[in-house]
Amino acid sequence: MVGAGPVGMTAALLLARHGVPTTVLEAAPARELVGSRSICVQGDVLDILARAGVGAQVAEVGVTWTRGRTYYRSHQVGEIRFPEVGSAAFPPFVNTPQTVVELLLEQAVAEEPLVELRYDQPVEALTQDADSVTVATPHGTVTGTHCVAADGARSTVRDLLGLPFDGMSYEDRFLIADIRADLGFTAERRFYFDPPWNPGRQVLVHPQPGGVWRVDWQVPADFDLATEDLDSRIRRITGDAPYEIVWLSLYRFHQRRIPEMRVGRVLLAGDAAHVMSPFGARGLNSGIADADNLAWKVALDREALAGPSLLSSYDVERGAAAEENLRVTSETMRFLVPRTPEEKSHREDVLTRSITDESARAEINAGRLAEPYSYEASPLTTSSGALCPDAQLMRGGRLRELGVFTVLTNWSDWRPSDPWERAVVGEVIPLDQEDDTTLADALNLKPRQAVVVRPDGHVAAVLTEPRGGIGAPINAALRRATGWVH
């Protein structure tokens, strides 16, 4: 594992759940805990972090927000509300600074005997053959069956593989500040278009733990932080209230991805594979989903249980997810930072009409928030490939906590019948033996159906029993889901 950020450590911990030992190589001499960086963690990603051992802690220390407001100049022109937690394990969104997420993950890594974290290990060379990958650092070489590159937007592994990182960068920049202050309103996301205190541009305000607020100002390309009157800028938000600057940084956003996320036995994840604007919180969340997708595939490949196309499916599935995220965030950036006269005119027209026209408000694009990607076009699935609904199990625990291939039936006493099935299938749950109908209702199963759920919680197949019995269809679905069907 190259890179000890949230993606690399999550992948290492998920691999450990599958019994795979991992050496994590981090180039930095120590962890740099500066600033919030990414802050918004989506509820389904908290499920992934829970399987890695830190989901509950990430949610507990973060700020849950269920309301977002959008403003144009001095007018409120939009509001979204998310449901409270209710019976779900986690809220829809929690704001926990990336630095805190990394600390929690590193604590879990320190307690996991199958993961070894080494600092001050910059990778200088990489070679691979049909069975292994070897990386060289100034301190020696490390060889493994696979290599996961999670070494960020300036990925060394990506460069060593000669992969282009095509895309674009935006001229306008964003001044990002963590400010401790009482802003006089509750924990909610606020997006301001053309406010009087940042005319012609945007400001995004997000709550964080400890009374800290994340404020993102869009600023011109020639903005000079050294000569900026920061106090005046901040006072336009805080008023006369006292404030403390916790962190300050200047960013330019990029939209880029590599053409393939798997090269031989090397899999690239997170910012090493794709970068995008943060509006919609799709960066960190998609990186952790990359880790979830690759962990079980690497584990099966190591055990010779995977078919020849399983590793390739990582690029098929997560490459499509990256394309979707880039498409969505590009649409957002065209609205936020219009580059042509037509885009500028459209933005001005929509925002002006939104003051009085309810229908125009639906056209405002302040960032479509992160959501799980459905692997509908995947060669591994015969269903929508959507994330399976979660539910409590009669024996305790939740379906999404299982992290193994799971077969759910509503009538059958099917059990794995051969050594390969027994090695692959981790759980069989007869729904007719559950003492409530929560799970069956959530799955919307018809009579005599079965569902095959992958270790990452995505549905591989929904099967109806034929006359010859359900055994053969389940076996075929499992074979397809593990890469044995091209």
- Residue-by-residue DSSP string for 130-199: SS-EEEEETTEEEEES-EEE---TT-HHHHHTT---EEEEEEEEEEEEEEEE--SS-S-EEEEES-TTST
Q: How distant, in Å, are the alpha carbons of 82, 92, 388 from that of 86?
A: 11, 11, 18
Q: What tokens appear for 86 in the block? A: 């209710």
| Contact yes or no for 17/51 (Cβ under 8 A) | yes
Closest alpha carbon to 198 in 307, 305, 72: 72
What pLDDT, in 10s, does the model give residues 107-122? 999 999 999 999 999 9
Locate tokens 């404030």: which residue? Answer: 243
List of residues 6+ apart from 340 with CB closer than 8 A: none
pLDDT of residue 407: 94
Domains within the chain, CATH numbers bracketed: 6-61+94-165+257-361 (3.50.50.60), 168-254 (3.30.70.2450), 399-481 (3.40.30.10)
pLDDT at 434: 57
Taking phi over 0 as left and psi of -120 to 50 as alpha, with beta for the rest, 254 belongs to: beta
CB 338 within 8 A of CB 347: yes
Distance CA 172, CA 334 (A): 12
pLDDT at 435: 47
Q: Which residues of the chain have pLDDT under 50?
A: 435
State the pTM of this model.
Answer: 0.95
**pLDDT, tens only, 210-240:** 999 999 999 888 888 888 899 999 999 999 9
Do residues 89 and 47 touch, judged by C-beta distance below 8 A? yes
From CA 353, how far away is CA 362, in angstroms rounded? 11
Answer whether 315's CB lies under 8 Å from 262's CB: yes
Query: Residue 88: its pLDDT value, please?
Result: 77
Closest CA to 263 of 384, 173, 162, 381: 162
Phi, psi of 387 (to 5 degrees): -70, 130
- Rounded to whole angstroms, the Cα distance separating 347 from 334 reads 9
Half-sphere exposure of 154 (CA within 13 A, CB side): 3
Between the two ends of the chain, the Cα-to-Cα distance in Å is: 28
The first and second tokens of residue 77, run together, are 């022109």
